[in-house]
Structure 1
Amino acid sequence: MLPHILTLDLGTAGCKVVVFSIKGEMIGSGYDSYPLCQQHAGWVEQDPKAWWASSIRASREALRNSKIDSSAIKVIGVTGQMSGIVPLDKKGSPLRPSIIWMDRRAVSQAERLRKHLGGKYLYEITGHRIDPAFFAVKAMWIKENEPEIFKRTHIFLMPKDYLRFRLTGLFATDHGDASGSMLLDLRKKDWSSKLLAELDIPLEKLPLLKSPNEIAGDISAEASRLLGVPINTPVTVGSGDAICATLGAGVSEEGICHDVTGTSTIASVCADEPVIDRKMRVITNCYGVEGKWLIEAPSSTSGAILNWFKDCFAGEEASIANETGRDVFELLSEEASHVKPGADGLMLLPYFQGERSPIWDPEARGVIAGLTLAHTKSHAIRGIFESTSYLLRDLIETIEDLGISVREVRATGGGSKSRFWLQTKADVTGRNIKSLKVRETSPLGAMILASCAVHYYRDTKEAIENVLKVDEVFEPDRSLHDLYSQNFSTYKEIYQRMKGIRFG
């Protein structure tokens, strides 16, 4: 019987479990959701026990749908949401709900950290800007607001590491997830003694650091029974979902950029050494490819703008979609395609929720510029597709400004379903855009790490060569690229002229 790999992907809305062949083919999948708890403004929590329950149900569903004998599962991979914090007691029981990445309660702690240590100082050690989203700032909040919980905490884990603990009993994390904690010395690949001392966080409360393609241990008898997989199946350490997604997109060398477009757009590349940007425009993580670091340029909104437009202005298209069974975004793409490139001078600034990279301006706002009475709804739709493509170009050029070349882009996420959008991105960026057979690449990245852990492949590069499958290549139209290059200059100028204005 051919070996298969089971991967658990602990997302924000639910747990997705996929059964892969060793060639990276999706044989079966399962999904189970869990709620967000938002008791106060800016607070977002989840119950770790709900994660575990969902992973059990999703695993059993994936195995049923795969129609293989469970004895074919030879290794388990793990990935999941990053930057959350899970305090556990000595028995491994959660002491409170997990404060996840979306939570913004620790604003005052982040600001105090910025004033006390300085953003540049922390960035040079960790490769990250100070933000309430990160694990370290959440730990500060717990220590100050729930001191008894902090005192009783035996270990703090990241979300996916809690799942692995339930599978194997091991308290550990990988260097990639740890580098998103704002407590890891990026160059040393170890917890920063300086930062732990400054924040008064005991080292013994942090998990053991391991490589993402290591075996963490074998699945326990209880977890084996609950998930329906063979006892003593090895479980890998794994890594965070953003890291695994880029790995699953085949980014293993310089020149390849991963564009994941969903609610926002993140452009990611790998480098031979940590990149510390003097302007702090990008963030750097340890990566799942040997001897490489992951450089990320994350935006705030892209697909969210298209979704906003659909909800506010596309009632007619939504009705047609319901009647015909077609996808509403496909209909919006068709409308946009009837407008000539450049949208007859209409342009958007896609900063509808402030902006992260490259400008890192929380006060930035969205702008629709160049409107005339001749413009229609279709022009606005095209403007959204074009402006979010300018955004991708801005992220790529920011990366290239750091000395990292980008020759091609591999697109994943919900935005990669739109052929019109991908062609627009190719025309705007002047680079080939490749869509992939497997669009949800976080589970695939976890599969790659797991396959290397049990030596199905020599290393991650060999695994990528065997499992990555390109669906379609979108080549840029050079004449349109020239047009878009002129418009891109205008796009950047709009922000420069608007950034001194504050609204509301």
Structure 2
Amino acid sequence: MYIGLDIGTSGSKADLIDRNGNVLGSGHVSYGFSKTTGGYRELDAEAVWKAAIKCLYDAAAGKHVESITVSALGEAIVPIDREGNPVGPGIIGTDIRGIEELKEIEEAFGAKTLTDITGLNMSTIYSANKILWLKKHQPEIYKKAYKILTFQDYIIYRLCHKAVIDYSMASRTLLFDINKNDWSDILLSWSGISREKLSCPVPAGDIAGELDSSLAEELNFPESVKIVTGTHDHVCNAIGSGVCESGSCSNTVGTTEGLTAVLERSALTTESIENYQISCEPFAVKNLFNTVAWNNTSGVLLRWFVNEMVKEEKPEVIISTFAKMNKLMSAEPTDLFVLPHFSGAATPYMDSRSKGAVLGLTLDTKREDIYKALMEGANYELAVILEDLQQAGLGLKKIVANGGAISPELLQIKADILGVPVHTVKNRQTGTLGGAILGAVVSGEYSSVKEAVGAMVTENQVYEPDSGRMQIYREKLEVYKKIYPSIKEINHNIIH
């Protein structure tokens, strides 16, 4: 049996999963930022470690475990000492630190050269500029740090005392050469960041080591448990959705919304990465890559609406309110447009100063109209991203939606706006399932990721677009595309 351990921004979860994809035990622990003032976004790395241990214990204490595969949020940095203890804050990607340092990197190399090497569009979220900020502004922490890790290799290090990172996570640092699957000598040399400060890059699904004996005793696990490199969390979500071949696409709907499309490297050129602000990273299957495109606000919009407009804050009441609103709203498209930039704009705009907007309000507008328009806005944004991916070279064959924020109503809106069938899978915990699939392959249960997916992922309902609504949404999408450029300057002049 195999554990997928998924380290996220707002919580960690672990599932014990058998060879057929059945979940036999689960653990989940929520947490929040330890610091958010002044644009800082920090996670307490020690608290995340304790959460991970509790998740593992709750999922599988006393049971047979073959492997633990670790996936995690990308871009964050965690400075540690030789024992694995944090010696500084866990700084995540959306933290403002490193903005000036990114400018310095761009001035030194130029955006095109950086994209040629790393496969990344230029953004302030990456690890390199945050490491440089730490080096410049908190040199005592930088010097004290034995390693500066992401949350993936941080958890792996504490589980087995080996500093390894998979290619997909390494690629989110802006220090990794995706053409060679190794740290870029030219970027390390310029930055002054030594290889010794970083983990050793290895493929996803590689055995990092065996579980520390004292931890095995604490967790009541066998000492022979293999610690396996997972991936950037978007990639494990894709695998757990059954997405593992070129042309297939995973759409993860949660607080944010991600679109992970699998393709060959030749399908995504440096020019298309720059033009559409879509990054490219190594996938968990050899010689394949994947995009990482996302919308900053998706499911969180509905929670915001219920909290602030319906004034319900208890979790159980929020869920019942969602169900009530889903029944009240019309099946037909609304006349409203929501620009879902409530936390800035991600792909393809990468505009942290953009803000949300609701357009088309009248005295006839009902509460359920606004509720549905929030879902429509998130999916208009997704449709724009998908169009850019297709123009960049993605030959779309299949899209699979997953995540904790999906409902039948939302999935039908998604199919109608995107104009393609939207597939679903039975196990919604696709991130942990993706990790378990990699564990099953490395343990020899299956010969390949594709074979393991075939055995462990069970397809569920398919949502077909309604031809009438699809045509209306297609026309409305053309209007939606004009909103961001029309109000961009106004939004930038609004001081928050």
Bin for the TM-score computed over the shorter chain: over 0.9
Do structure 1's residue 293 and structure 2's residue 293 form an aligned pair?
no
1:16 match: 13
Q: Kindly state the Cα deviation for residue 62 of structure 1 after the two structures are TM-superposed.
A: 1.4
Is the 8 Å Cα contact of residues 46 and 85 (structure 2) preserved in structure 1? no
Superposed CA deviations along residues 61-107 of structure 1, whole A, max 9, x for unmatched, are: 1125xxxx52x212222122221212223344332232233422222
Match of 2:136 among 116, 119, 144: 144
Do structure 1's residue 217 and structure 2's residue 209 form an aligned pair?
yes
Q: Kindly state the Cα deviation for residue 310 of structure 1 after the two structures are TM-superposed.
A: 1.5
Coordinate RMSD, CA, aligned: 2.2
Q: Kindly state the Cα deviation for residue 383 of structure 1 after the two structures are TM-superposed.
A: 1.6
Runs of 5+ unmatched residues, structure 2 = none
1:369 match: 359
Match of 1:335 among 319, 328, 336: 328
1:60-99 correspondence runs (5 A): 60-63=57-60, 69-70=62-63, 72-99=64-91
The one-letter code matched in structure 2 to 1:233 is: V
Is the 8 Å Cα contact of residues 83 and 100 (structure 1) preserved in structure 2? yes
**Partner Cα separation in structure 2 for residue 101 and residue 319 of structure 1:** 29
Runs of 5+ unmatched residues, structure 1 = none
2:369 match: 379
Q: Kindly state the Cα deviation for residue 238 of structure 1 after the two structures are TM-superposed.
A: 1.7
Deviates more, 1:85-94 or 1:268-277: 85-94
Is the 8 Å Cα contact of residues 128 and 174 (structure 2) preserved in structure 1? yes
2:235 match: 243
1:309 match: 305
Q: Kindly state the Cα deviation for residue 166 of structure 1 after the two structures are TM-superposed.
A: 1.7
Superposed CA deviations along residues 307-352 of structure 1, whole A, max 9, x for unmatched, are: 222222123x779974xx962212222222x3x5231x32222222
The one-letter code matched in structure 1 to 2:408 is: R
Q: Kindly state the Cα deviation for residue 230 of structure 1 after the two structures are TM-superposed.
A: 0.3
The one-letter code matched in structure 2 to 1:127 is: G
Superposed CA deviations along residues 1-51 of structure 1, whole A, max 9, x for unmatched, are: xxx112222222333121101111111101234453217422233333333
Match of 2:394 among 391, 398, 404: 404
**Partner Cα separation in structure 2 for residue 92 and residue 326 of structure 1:** 39
Instruction: State the identity %.
Output: 29
Look up the SS of the partner of 1:187 in the other structure: coil
Deviates more, 1:367-376 or 1:419-428: 367-376
Q: 1:22 to 1:496 in 2, by over 3 A?
A: same
**Partner Cα separation in structure 1 for residue 177 and residue 59 of structure 2:** 38
Q: 1:320 to 1:114 in 2, by over 3 A?
A: closer
Q: Kindly state the Cα deviation for residue 411 of structure 1 after the two structures are TM-superposed.
A: 0.8
Is the 8 Å Cα contact of residues 131 and 137 (structure 1) preserved in structure 2? no
Q: 1:33 to 1:350 in 2, by over 3 A?
A: closer
Do structure 1's residue 47 and structure 2's residue 44 form an aligned pair?
yes
1:463 match: 452
Do structure 1's residue 483 and structure 2's residue 472 form an aligned pair?
yes
Look up the SS of the partner of 2:297 in the other structure: coil
Q: 1:39 to 1:439 in 2, by over 3 A?
A: closer
1:182 match: 174
Superposed CA deviations along residues 424-453 of structure 1, whole A, max 9, x for unmatched, are: 111111111122211121111111111111
Q: Kindly state the Cα deviation for residue 415 of structure 1 after the two structures are TM-superposed.
A: 2.5
The one-letter code matched in structure 2 to 1:328 is: T
**Partner Cα separation in structure 1 for residue 461 and residue 351 of structure 2:** 35
TM-score (norm 1): 0.91
1:274-293 correspondence runs (5 A): 275=268, 276=270, 277=272, 278-293=274-289
Do structure 1's residue 104 and structure 2's residue 101 form an aligned pair?
no
Match of 2:199 among 196, 207, 210: 207
**Partner Cα separation in structure 2 for residue 105 and residue 326 of structure 1:** 36
Q: 1:5 to 1:51 in 2, by over 3 A?
A: same
Q: Kindly state the Cα deviation for residue 113 of structure 1 after the two structures are TM-superposed.
A: 2.8
Q: Kindly state the Cα deviation for residue 196 of structure 1 after the two structures are TM-superposed.
A: 1.0
Do structure 1's residue 31 and structure 2's residue 28 form an aligned pair?
yes
Superposed CA deviations along residues 244-287 of structure 1, whole A, max 9, x for unmatched, are: 11121111113322111122221111112162324142011111
**Partner Cα separation in structure 1 for residue 87 and residue 314 of structure 2:** 47
Match of 1:358 among 348, 355, 360: 348
1:124 match: 116
**Partner Cα separation in structure 2 for residue 189 and residue 319 of structure 1:** 47
Deviates more, 1:246-255 or 1:456-465: 246-255
Q: 1:335 to 1:116 in 2, by over 3 A?
A: farther
**Partner Cα separation in structure 1 for residue 121 and residue 343 of structure 2:** 18
The one-letter code matched in structure 1 to 2:361 is: L
